[in-house]
Amino acid sequence: MTPSDDVALRIQDLTVRFPGPRPHAWSRRSTVTAVHSVSLALGRGRTLGLVGESGSGKSTTGRAILRLNDPTSGTIEAAGFRVHEFGQRPPKAFRRAVQAVFQDPLGSLDPLMEIGQIVEEPLVIHFDDLPSAERRRRVRELVDTVGLSANHLARYPYELSGGQRQRVAIAKALAVAPELIILDEPVSALDVSVQSQIVNLLEDLQREKDLTYLFVAHDLAVVRHASDTVAVMYRGRIVEEGPAERVCGAPEHPYTKTLFDSVPDPDPRRSAAARNARKHTAVTSSESAGPDGCPFFARCQIRMDICAHHFPDFTPVLGGGSLACHAVGDDSRRPLPVAG
């Protein structure tokens, strides 16, 4: 473990590659780079929204933090643990300190176990010397904390609604008192009214328990509401980051503008600005960038020749944060920011 400081999560130059298809039976297997040289820092008690379209690498980043995916290169420090140095099985203390809540709770809730048993299971695994009566007391307390009642304890996951199942998944994550929770699309499968309830619950729990969240999502409205800072990913790269209000309200990177253009905005002035921004990215070119170029090159109408061959350094943005774009900002580089 590293010495404790105000940073709950620090990622430096993380790259994750997977084996790709073989073009021919006799050829070597190709590789797919899902995450490319990603660096992030997240302060304790804060929420970082990691946003991007499907295939951007955001969930792969979250899974690498949990060591569900092995990093190819780079470093990950989470809750004081040097995650990139782990072997095949992360230590028990890490699995207590860093928990996850996934999009589909049915995938993480044993359908043959009652809700009370599901919430109790982490206590059995991590606190095997805890008396059974104390475990049951904590289970009742956890269920109450997430807005369920004792009546739910004897039910099975299939007997609950989607929102109730997600509350059970949150209670299960909270059982071991984690420092950091990876929220991987935690509300995207829920109705809009239920989404707001779960997000509000997560915010209340964060204030009460000083939790730190990495909030992985494609729903931009949810990310804007739930996050302190936002990082935008496109094809494995971070292209822009900064305070949530600045990134969501006044994006600078051409891709971020396109991404947030899809979210309805009641302010007609901002809507007009979004339509304006759309002109920069309306056409997809047949040209493509090299492996070291900007992944947005083919879709960007303000691209320059250098964009095809060199991914830009991050430059500061007025209002906070930074972006990676040769065509916007200047050539100065700023240090890696910390959320909070």
Average pLDDT along the chain, 340 residues, taken 10 residues at a time: 72 95 75 96 98 95 97 97 92 97 89 97 95 97 97 97 97 98 95 94 98 95 94 97 95 93 60 50 55 91 91 93 85 44
Whether this prediction's pTM lies above 0.85 is answered by yes
pLDDT of res. 269: 55
In sequence order, the β-bridge partners of residue 73 are 15
pLDDT of res. 273: 52
The dihedral built from the CA positions of residue 132, 181, 46 and 337, taken in this order, carries a sign that is: positive
pLDDT of res. 93: 96
Q: How many CB atoms lie within 10 A of CB 129?
A: 4
Q: Which residues of 85-118 are buried (b: 16+ CB within 10 A; e: fewer)?
A: eeeeebeeebbbbbbbbbbebeebbeeeebbbeb
pLDDT of res. 108: 84
pLDDT of res. 24: 72
